[in-house]
Amino acid sequence: MQYGEMQKILSEHGQLHVLKWWDELDEAGRAQLAKQIGQIDWELLSLAHKEAEADRGEILPIDGLDLGEIAERREEFFSLGSSAVREGKVAAVMLAGGQGTRLGSDAPKGAFDIGLTRPLYIFEQLIRNLEDVVRTCGAYVPLFIMTSEANDAETQAFFREHAFFGYPEREIFFFRQEMAPAVDLNGKLLMSAKDSLALSPNGNGGWYASLMRAGLVAEAEERGIEWFNVFAVDNVLQRMADPVFLGATIASGLATGAKYVRKAYPEERVGVLCLEDGLPGVIEYYELDRKMAELRDRAGRLVYAYGVTLNYLFRADILRSIAEKRLPVHIAKKKVPCLNADGVLVEPETENGCKFETLILDMIRCAGSCLPFEVEREREFAPIKNRTGTDSVDTARVLLEKNGVKL
């Protein structure tokens, strides 16, 4: 993009300040900034001034499969799901763009060592979980790993350094999550350097668009992939490409499936699967009023109890349909490091900017149907959010040992 063209576009959108330090930049710096300006989604930025998101619609419980029902039909579900795995119809997608900052590490979160007597990395444990399916079904599952701009090179190098933890290199594909520019509270673009906009990942709802732009949707189509199992990197008991879950979702005829754990208590800080205005979705724990959170059925069980584990199945044809729409954009006020008027990078003490994110929970809603599928908490839910305390390295280690994993 030429300077005159950039100047015209930025002027039209009231963002000429982005070129303030242009004369100081070398050729590489100018090229980088020009590329970023050319990739700005101006419609997205216009949302910075939109009114607060509308109130939630009518929230009702959603029907799903509980552990008892799954046990009764396990053989049926396993047969359907294992056949799909053997026929190469299933791919796994790991969302691994985060850093291990809250764990006290500057490395990618998946590179964190959770071992006690031997090295055991989060990435490694997840590969071992996937290999359980390989052994059971007799076929490898292609694994697509979404990294971020901040950790892509390090993540790929980490996998190569560890020989992909024994998983075939030909079955692992890396792709970067797309970035979105941050703006200040007045809608002005923030700069992280004189030659760079302040960019941040565009939310976990952007995984399929990022996969598509990386050319990997075409790869999946060539392989005959019909289902994508999307999961988060930080749950070390995560079971991906689970043939029983897959078979249940196929048998249901629904477009998506979501694993859930039954909430342990009303105030547990997990999103809850439910219906909103008749469509499946996830309501965050802080959006449930006390009455709804504590509501119980005749058996004394919580009514709004389907706590999501961020393990979803999407039918491929539905994803193509969703890709043609614009997902709802969530605007989050954050503390965004940025240049001040003097070109000095500052770390704000209060919220100074807005980040734009799309969320995977909105993909469920856009799909129009979802099968909630219960899993045992102690067998499949060991999230690592913190170094110590709740949902931490410590609690995950206890659960891993209970499941026979040597640490």
Helical ranges in 119-206 per DSSP H: 122-137, 152-161
Question: Does residue 17 carry a pLDDT above 70?
Answer: yes
Question: What is the model's pLDDT at position 300?
Answer: 92
What per-residue confidence (pLDDT) applies to 395? 96
pLDDT above 70 as % of the chain: 98
Length of the chain: 407
pLDDT at 115: 96
Residue 49 pLDDT: 64
Q: Which of 119, 123, 120 is nearest to 109 (CA)?
A: 123
Q: What is the pLDDT of residues 48-104, one digit of tens each?
A: 766 555 567 899 999 999 999 999 999 999 999 999 999 999 999 999 999 999 999
> How high is the pLDDT of residue 332?
85
pLDDT of residue 317: 96
> Is residue 233 within 8 Å of 266, Cβ to Cβ?
no
Which token pair is 15? 């963002």
Which superfamily, per CATH, for 56-402?
Spore Coat Polysaccharide Biosynthesis Protein SpsA; Chain A (3.90.550.10)
What phi, psi does 164 have (nearest 5°)? 55, 25
Does 316 score more than 60 pLDDT?
Answer: yes
Contacts (Cβ under 8 Å, ≥6 apart) of 39: none
* 326 vs 13, higher pLDDT: 13
Which residues, other chains included, contact 354 with Cβ-Cβ below 8 Å and sequence gap of 6+?
48, 182, 183, 184, 185, 331, 332, 333, 334
CB 380 within 8 A of CB 259: yes
DSSP summary character for residue 305: -
Q: What share of the chain is helix, strand, coil (3-state, %, to 5)?
A: 40, 25, 35
List all residues 6 or more positions away from 96 whose beta carbon is below 8 Å from its beta carbon: 108, 109, 110, 123, 145, 146, 147, 151, 155, 233
Instruction: Pick the closest to residue 363 from 305, 312, 288 (CA basis).
Output: 312
- How far is it, in rounded angstroms, from Cα 89 to Cα 83? 9
Q: What is the pLDDT of residues 144-201, one digit of tens each?
A: 999 999 899 999 999 999 999 999 999 999 999 999 999 999 999 999 999 999 998 8
- Tell me: the pLDDT tens digits for 246-296? 999 999 999 999 999 999 999 998 999 999 999 998 988 888 889 999 999
Least confidently predicted of 17-26, 126-135, 197-206 = 197-206
- Specify the pLDDT at position 57: 85
Confidence at residue 285, expressed as pLDDT on a 0 to 100 scale: 85
Out of 41-45, 136-140, 338-342, which region has the weakest mean confidence (pLDDT)? 41-45
Please give the backbone phi and psi of residue 199, each rounded to the nearest 5 degrees, phi first.
Answer: -110, 150
The least confident of 26-30, 40-44, 293-297 is 40-44
Considering 69-83, 291-305, 312-326, the range whose residues carry the highest mean pLDDT is 69-83
Token output for 273: 């699967």
Counts of helices then strands in the chain (DSSP H, E) = 15, 19
On the CB side of 110, CA atoms within 13 Å amount to: 28
Rounded CA separation 67/300 (Å): 17
d(CA 132, CA 135): 5
Phi, psi for residue 351 in degrees, rounded to 5: -60, 125
- Residue 127 CA to residue 310 CA, distance in Å, equals 17
- Report percent pLDDT > 90 for the chain: 86
Report the DSSP pairing between strands 279-283 and 256-262. unpaired
Supply 96's token pair. 């691994």
Calpha distance 374→305 (Å, rounded): 10
In 263-370, where do the E strands start and end? 272-276, 279-283, 306-315, 330-334, 338-339, 345-346, 353-357
pLDDT in tens, 342-373: 999 999 999 999 999 999 999 999 999 999 99
What is the rounded end-to-end Cα distance, in angstroms, of the chain? Answer: 53
- What is the SS3 assignment for 33? helix
φ, ψ of residue 333 to 5 degrees: the values are -80, 130
pLDDT of residue 47: 77
pLDDT confidence tier of residue 45, bands split at 50, 70 and 90: confident
Distance CA 380, CA 311 (A): 10
- Backbone conformation region of residue 176, classed left if phi is above 0, alpha if psi is from -120 to 50, else beta: beta
